[in-house]
């Protein structure tokens, strides 16, 4: 009987050893089972029904075993126990619970196991390596990621084999841990692949969604299989096993497909991909030769046995003949020394004992020197054009695109069967290719890499790079560059190709390329390459393409003297969602508005003061205060209007807002023609347009149901100011263009008059010079755009219209229909000085020039011309670069030649030395002034004269207010003595204004009127109102008052009295 029940006892012991009953019962399940077998209750706690049920189970087992008349095996008993497990479990549970009738806890039979087995450790290591694998993919390190993924796959296979092959290594916890590790690895692989764009997002979402559902199902099974009470500690206790998972064949197949997809994707983009099929023919050739060699050796051995071992075979063996035949075949195919064919030849020769010293090792197969490549001279730099989108010309793919350096076309791949390989075979001599992503050179179809410094110029044209020192030297560059085709160009002044109707984009891009902080930022790719990119966001493409365009515009080593903005415009079309097209004319102001905001967002910038500020906002963003009040409806009576004005809704409100550019409203053009039946082109003064932002001028704006009156007050001026003139108005029928000409100053535009006294104290300088001027020509529908650019290195103005580049006089710029203007500070302010310091430098230089002219006895016209030259020169150059006293002497020397009152250079130097000794104000700085002239003063003045001529572009004609002053005063009706006094005072004002930049800001006719206007005020003469209208047009009283106040500020600074008469003769210059 014991032999029959021995398996049951073993099972019960195993049960009692591996399971713990969480109750206060002192008896084990085995004791209850034995007590039930004896037929009496344990301590009187088991009922007769329970004992009879257990005994019935045992009797059935005995009868089953006796009827079969075979030896009892563990499998038979286990099958029987599985069928009756419910009855046995209920009996045991009832027995234990009846022991304490007042306290009957629920029994939780829990199986505990060792979770720290070798397969589980491998699973944990796979989970730990998954995040690093995702990091490698995001960083585009595909080769290490591929190796790590393969290692993780091998660990997955290894833990399965160990669990199935070795006893004690398979656990139920491992059945949960292994698929969990696979899910973590899949999530850390497919999500980064989708982020970098190697797989589509929807595929990654499908895979991760399926895994999430499986994880949720596993959590549910774990929760339901836990005995009560269910707690977090029990739920996450790994050694407490309640269920086991078994993968299905469908799940295994799905995992295999996912693994294959990841391996194929990483392998296609890793650097370890080598076109093995290119070497397969050579490998087969080596095998075939080696097989023939073995056969020949066997024949040779048999022949030696026939002839005798002592005799030596003198004839050439079949092996040598075979080797010669194979090597001759290889020689006919290719005669180079370092291609795969030559390596195959060296292998053959090394096998048969014929080494060749000129053959290279197998490790040198990938890279050869350029001097050893016979196809290097086939490169044609005249046809290379890297401005277009990097797409295969056949498949239109962007992956692994190569440029043929012979014809300039783009092809995909370099392996056998790819488009680049086919092109190299079909064209014959087209063997040199450049990988547009890795910048590596290859020779196809031989497929070896070439490295040589002679190819660096091609790399530089494809991806120009700039150091900090090179960027700082751009504004000082005066040298012309020569392209491959022989044409010369100035870096930065390069035409952009008009593909069809994209000139409205070209002019904006050209203007932005000459804003120094924007240019310097985008010339270094590291500045914006590390900007955080949101997955799926296409705006970073805009910043990348704009940076590439700027680097090509300022590249001094271009192969051609123009650049195509094709890639940049493709990014504009994509990011603007086809709002701005290449094939359709657009509005430059609308494009400028979108471009500034989109590029700011692409650089990670946000709205508001506390958000991240990009380089664009730091350069162009200012602040203004907008005062708004509503206007009552016109149909109401006066009483109702007064009642509405008392309400809070109609009270004036103020709001401070940022701005990127200022919009100037042009006055409407005249409706009627003049007496000659010709349309008059109206003109307007720039200051009259800018008075909109002085905080006093009110503008009325209408909506479809309400009217508003607004006032604009500038609070903070930006570093660079963009001004847009509103030339186009749209009505219900068509778009109309306003042809009004704006009379604007090119240099010395002061915006301080539009600031409040409190706001002006916050600014070091409020003077801006013109840097770029965008012009619209033609009608509103079929017009064209061109741009005027100031090159700071040469100080010259250039006109750029598509591919056409030419220089232009500054005076011609003011006659154009300006649409957008870009203004910045003078070069001296850009060097770090304030406007007050620059004014002081100008005043000292002009004063020295006036004193020197008085010393040598020059006439007033020569003196005034020299001072104008002095002020004009420092609008283009910095005081730090050119000493002001040497420049003043050179300006006076050049003015004497222009005005036909020349003075010798030695006379100027002698007068300078005498002046330094006579004037007490120069005693302290005399040594410093003489040091500026150096050991050869004549040479310094002559050299500076050439610099002046290059800066002015030989535009030396200057008009002065003196002749207009005499002409205008003659029209006054008064006695002769009073008119002479009026002329004398006005003449003095003109002389004293030479120390300021008024001669550059206003025309000489307006200055003459302003000086007479001030003299009339001080003399208290009675004249007609608006007497100046017969001499100059579009000059208001406010403009004259402004000019007079600027001159009076000079007197206040240097100590003049209110009458305008100087206490000393230091600023009077030459009197009439």
Condensed to tens digits (0 to 9), the pLDDT of residues 300-330 reads 666 555 444 343 333 444 444 544 454 444 4
Whole-number Å distance between alpha carbons of 97 and 106: 8
CB-based contacts of 908, cutoff 8 Å, min separation 6: 852, 856, 889, 892, 893, 941
Average pLDDT score over the chain: 75
pLDDT digits (tens, 9 = 90+) for 585-633: 999 999 999 999 999 988 887 655 445 578 899 899 999 999 998 888 8
Q: How confident is the model at residue 571 (pLDDT cuts 50, 70, 90)?
A: very high
Q: Contact, 968 vs 820, CB < 8 A?
A: no
pLDDT digits (tens, 9 = 90+) for 707-742: 888 899 999 999 999 999 999 888 778 888 888 999
Higher pLDDT residue, 328 or 451? 451
* DSSP E strand boundaries for 413-514: 432-435, 441-443, 448-451, 481-482, 488-489, 495-496
Q: How confident is the model at residue 347 (pLDDT cuts 50, 70, 90)?
A: very low
What domains can you pick out in the chain, each with its CATH number? Answer: 2-107 (no CATH), 118-269 (no CATH), 276-302+318-365 (no CATH), 379-460 (3.30.40.10), 464-612 (3.90.70.10), 622-659+661-670+679-825 (3.90.70.10), 835-952 (1.10.472.10), 961-1054 (1.10.472.10)
- Residue 34 to residues 11, 20, 64, 563: CA-CA distances in angstroms? 13, 18, 20, 97
- Identify how many contiguous H helices and E strands the chain contains and give both numbers: 40, 29
Q: Spell out a b/e string for 396-411, using b for 16 or more CB atoms within 10 Å of the CB, else e.
A: eeeebbbbbbbeebbb
Higher pLDDT residue, 201 or 629? 629
User: Tokens at residue 425, please?
Assistant: 């075979």
Per residue, what are the HEC states of 1018-1072? HHCCCCCCCHHHHCCCCCCHHHHHHHHHHHHHHHHHHCCCCCCCCCCCCCCCCCC
Q: How confident is the model at residue 28 (pLDDT cuts 50, 70, 90)?
A: very low
**pLDDT at position 458, please?**
93
Q: Which of 825, 586, 525 is nearest to 595 (CA)?
A: 586
User: Tokens at residue 780, please?
Assistant: 């509103």
Q: Contact, 258 vs 186, CB < 8 A?
A: yes
Q: What are the contacts of 649-656 at 24+ separation with CB within 8 A?
A: 652/627, 652/628, 653/627, 653/628, 653/629, 654/625, 654/626, 654/627, 654/628, 655/625, 655/626, 655/628, 656/623, 656/624, 656/625, 656/626, 656/715
Ramachandran bin of 900, using left for φ above 0, alpha for ψ from -120 to 50, beta for the remaining angles: left
**pLDDT at position 291, please?**
62
At residue 1071, does pLDDT exceed 90?
no
Q: Could you give phi then psi for residue 784, rounded to 5 degrees? A: -130, 165
**pLDDT at position 472, please?**
85
Q: Contact, 1060 vs 1014, CB < 8 A?
A: yes
User: Tokens at residue 52, please?
Assistant: 């009879």
Q: Which of 466, 462, 405, 467 is nearest to 438 (CA)?
A: 462
Q: Which region among 87-91, 200-204, 453-457 has the lowest average model confidence (pLDDT)?
A: 87-91
Whole-number Å distance between alpha carbons of 947 and 327: 70
**pLDDT at position 14, please?**
42
pLDDT digits (tens, 9 = 90+) for 348-389: 344 334 333 333 433 344 455 545 788 888 999 999 988 888
Q: What are the contacts of 16-22 at 24+ separation with CB within 8 A?
A: 18/111, 18/112, 19/109, 19/110, 19/111, 20/110, 20/112, 21/96, 21/107, 21/108, 21/109, 22/105, 22/107, 22/108, 22/110
Q: Determine the angle formed by the axes of helices 318-333 and 276-307, rounding to 10 degrees.
A: 160
Whole-number Å distance between alpha carbons of 493 and 478: 12
Q: Strand 495-496 and strand 721-726: pairing?
A: unpaired
Query: Cα dihedral sign for 332, 337, 338, 344?
Result: positive
DSSP code of residue 694:
E
Of all residues in the chain, what percent carry a pLDDT higher than 90? 18
At residue 45, does pLDDT exceed 50?
no
**pLDDT at position 758, please?**
84
Which segments of 621-748 does DSSP mark as H helices, in order? 638-646, 686-690
pLDDT digits (tens, 9 = 90+) for 466-495: 998 899 888 888 888 998 888 899 999 999
Whole-number Å distance between alpha carbons of 242 and 235: 10
Name the burial class of residue 918, with classes exposed (0-12), middle (13-18) and buried (19+) by CB atoms within 10 angstroms of its CB: exposed
**pLDDT at position 755, please?**
86
**pLDDT at position 153, please?**
81
**pLDDT at position 1063, please?**
34
Name the burial class of residue 231, with classes exposed (0-12), middle (13-18) and buried (19+) by CB atoms within 10 angstroms of its CB: exposed
Q: Which region among 336-345, 759-768, 920-929, 1041-1050 has the lowest average model confidence (pLDDT)?
A: 336-345
pTM of the predicted protein model: 0.55
User: Tokens at residue 445, please?
Assistant: 């179809």
Bond before 229 cis per omega within 30 degrees: yes
Q: Strand 721-726 and strand 784-791: pairing?
A: unpaired
Q: How confident is the model at residue 1036 (pLDDT cuts 50, 70, 90)?
A: confident
At residue 409, does pLDDT exceed 90?
yes
Q: Contact, 999 vs 868, CB < 8 A?
A: yes
């Amino acid at each position: 009987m014991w032999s029959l029940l021995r398996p049951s006892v073993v099972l019960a012991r195993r049960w009692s050893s591996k399971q713990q009953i969480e109750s206060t019962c002192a008896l084990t399940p085995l004791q209850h089972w034995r007590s039930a077998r004896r037929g009496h209750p344990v301590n009187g706690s088991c009922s007769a029904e329970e004992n009879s049920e257990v005994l019935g189970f045992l009797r059935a087992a005995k009868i089953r075993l006796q009827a079969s008349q075979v030896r009892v095996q563990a499998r038979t008993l286990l099958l029987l126990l599985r069928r009756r497990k419910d009855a046995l479990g209920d009996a045991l549970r009832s027995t234990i619970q009846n022991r304490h009738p007042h306290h009957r806890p629920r029994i939780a039979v829990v199986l505990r196991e060792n979770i720290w087995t070798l397969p589980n450790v491998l699973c944990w290591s796979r989970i730990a390596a998954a995040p690093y694998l995702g990091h490698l993919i995001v960083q585009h390190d595909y080769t290490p990621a591929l190796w790590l993924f393969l290692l993780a796959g091998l660990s997955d296979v290894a833990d399965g084999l160990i669990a199935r092959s070795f006893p004690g290594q398979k656990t139920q916890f491992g059945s949960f841990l292994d698929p969990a590790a696979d899910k973590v690895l899949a999530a850390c692989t497919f999500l980064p692949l989708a982020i970098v764009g190697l797989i589509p997002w929807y595929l990654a979402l499908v895979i991760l969604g399926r895994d999430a559902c499986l994880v949720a199902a596993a959590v549910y099974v774990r929760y339901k299989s836990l005995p009560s009470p269910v707690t977090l500690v029990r739920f996450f206790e790994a050694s407490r096993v309640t269920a086991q998972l078994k993968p299905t064949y469908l799940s295994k197949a799905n995992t295999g497909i996912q693994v294959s997809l990841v391996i194929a994707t990483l392998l296609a983009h890793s650097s370890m991909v080598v076109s093995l099929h290119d070497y397969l023919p050579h490998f087969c050739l080596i095998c075939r030769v080696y097989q023939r060699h073995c056969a020949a050796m066997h024949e040779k051995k048999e022949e030696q046995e026939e002839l005798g071992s002592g005799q030596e075979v003198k004839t050439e063996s079949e092996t040598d003949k075979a080797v010669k035949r194979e090597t001759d075949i290889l020689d006919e195919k290719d005669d180079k020394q370092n291609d795969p064919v030559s390596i195959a030849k060296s292998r053959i020769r090394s096998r048969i004992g014929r080494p060749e010293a000129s053959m290279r090792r197998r490790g040198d197969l990938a890279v050869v020197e350029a001097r050893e490549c016979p196809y290097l001279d086939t490169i044609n730099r005249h046809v290379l054009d890297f401005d277009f989108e990097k797409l295969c010309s056949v498949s239109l793919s962007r992956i692994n695109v190569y440029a043929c350096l012979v014809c300039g076309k783009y092809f995909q791949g370099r392996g056998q069967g790819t488009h680049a390989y086919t092109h190299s075979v079909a064209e014959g001599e087209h063997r040199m290719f450049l990988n547009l992503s890795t910048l590596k050179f290859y020779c196809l179809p031989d497929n070896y890499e070439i490295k040589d410094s002679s190819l660096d110029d091609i790399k530089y044209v494809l991806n120009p790079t700039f150091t900090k020192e090179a960027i700082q030297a751009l504004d000082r560059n005066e040298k012309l560059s020569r392209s491959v085709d022989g044409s010369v160009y100035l870096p930065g002044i390069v035409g952009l190709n008009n593909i069809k109707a994209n000139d409205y984009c070209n002019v904006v891009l050209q203007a932005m390329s000459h804003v120094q902080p924007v240019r310097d930022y985008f010339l270094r790719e590291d500045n914006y390459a590390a900007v955080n990119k949101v997955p799926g966001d296409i705006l970073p493409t805009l910043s990348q393409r704009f940076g590439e365009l700027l680097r090509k515009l300022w590249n001094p080593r271009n192969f051609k003297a123009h650049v195509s903005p094709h890639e940049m415009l493709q990014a504009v079309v994509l990011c603007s969602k086809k709002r701005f097209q290449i094939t359709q004319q657009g509005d430059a102001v609308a494009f400028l508005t979108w471009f500034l905001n989109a590029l700011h967002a692409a650089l990670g910038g946000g709205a508001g003061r506390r958000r991240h500020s990009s380089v664009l906002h730091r350069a162009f963003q200012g602040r203004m205060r907008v005062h708004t009040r509503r206007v009552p409806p016109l149909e109401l009576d006066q009483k109702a209007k007064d009642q509405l004005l008392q309400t809070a809704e109609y009270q004036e409100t103020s709001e401070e807002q940022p701005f990127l550019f200022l919009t100037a409203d042009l006055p409407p053009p005249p409706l009627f023609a003049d007496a000659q039946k010709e349309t008059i082109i109206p003109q307007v003064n720039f200051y009259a347009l800018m008075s909109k932002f002085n905080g006093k001028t009110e503008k009325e704006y209408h909506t479809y149901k309400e009217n508003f009156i607004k006032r604009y007050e500038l609070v903070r001026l930006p570093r660079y100011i963009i001004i847009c003139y509103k030339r186009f108005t749209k009505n219900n029928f068509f778009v109309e263009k306003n042809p009004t000409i704006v009379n604007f100053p090119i240099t010395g535009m002061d915006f301080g008059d539009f600031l409040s006294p409190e706001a002006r104290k916050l600014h070091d300088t409020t003077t801006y010079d013109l840097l770029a001027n965008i012009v619209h020509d033609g009608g509103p529908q079929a017009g064209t755009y061109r741009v005027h650019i100031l090159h700071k290195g040469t100080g010259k103005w250039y006109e750029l219209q598509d591919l056409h580049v030419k220089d232009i006089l500054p005076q011609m710029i003011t006659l154009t229909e300006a649409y957008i203007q870009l203004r910045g500070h003078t070069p001296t302010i850009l060097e770090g000085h304030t406007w007050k310091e620059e004014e002081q430098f100008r005043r000292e230089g002009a004063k020295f020039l006036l004193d020197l002219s008085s010393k040598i006895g020059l006439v007033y016209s020569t003196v005034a011309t020299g001072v104008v030259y002095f002020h004009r020169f420092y609008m283009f150059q910095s005081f730090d670069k050119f000493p002001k006293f040497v420049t003043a002497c050179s300006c006076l020397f050049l003015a004497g030649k222009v005005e036909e009152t020349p003075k010798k250079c030695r006379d100027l130097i002698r007068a300078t030395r005498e002046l330094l000794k006579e004037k007490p104000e120069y005693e302290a700085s005399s040594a410093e002034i003489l040091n500026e002239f150096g050991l050869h003063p004549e040479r310094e003045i002559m050299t500076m004269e050439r610099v002046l001529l290059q800066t002015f572009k030989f535009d030396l004609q200057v008009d002065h207010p003196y002749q207009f002053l005499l002409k205008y005063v003659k029209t006054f009706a008064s006695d002769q003595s009073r008119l002479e006094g009026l002329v004398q005072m006005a003449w003095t004002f003109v002389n004293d204004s030479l120390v300021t930049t008024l001669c550059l800001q206003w025309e000489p006719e307006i200055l003459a009127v302003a000086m007479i206007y001030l003299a009339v005020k001080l003399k208290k003469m009675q004249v007609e109102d608006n007497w100046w209208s017969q001499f100059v047009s579009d000059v208001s009283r406010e403009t004259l008052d402004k000019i007079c106040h600027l001159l009076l500020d000079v007197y206040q600074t240097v100590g003049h009295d209110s009458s305008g008469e100087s206490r000393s003769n230091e600023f009077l210059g030459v009197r009439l």
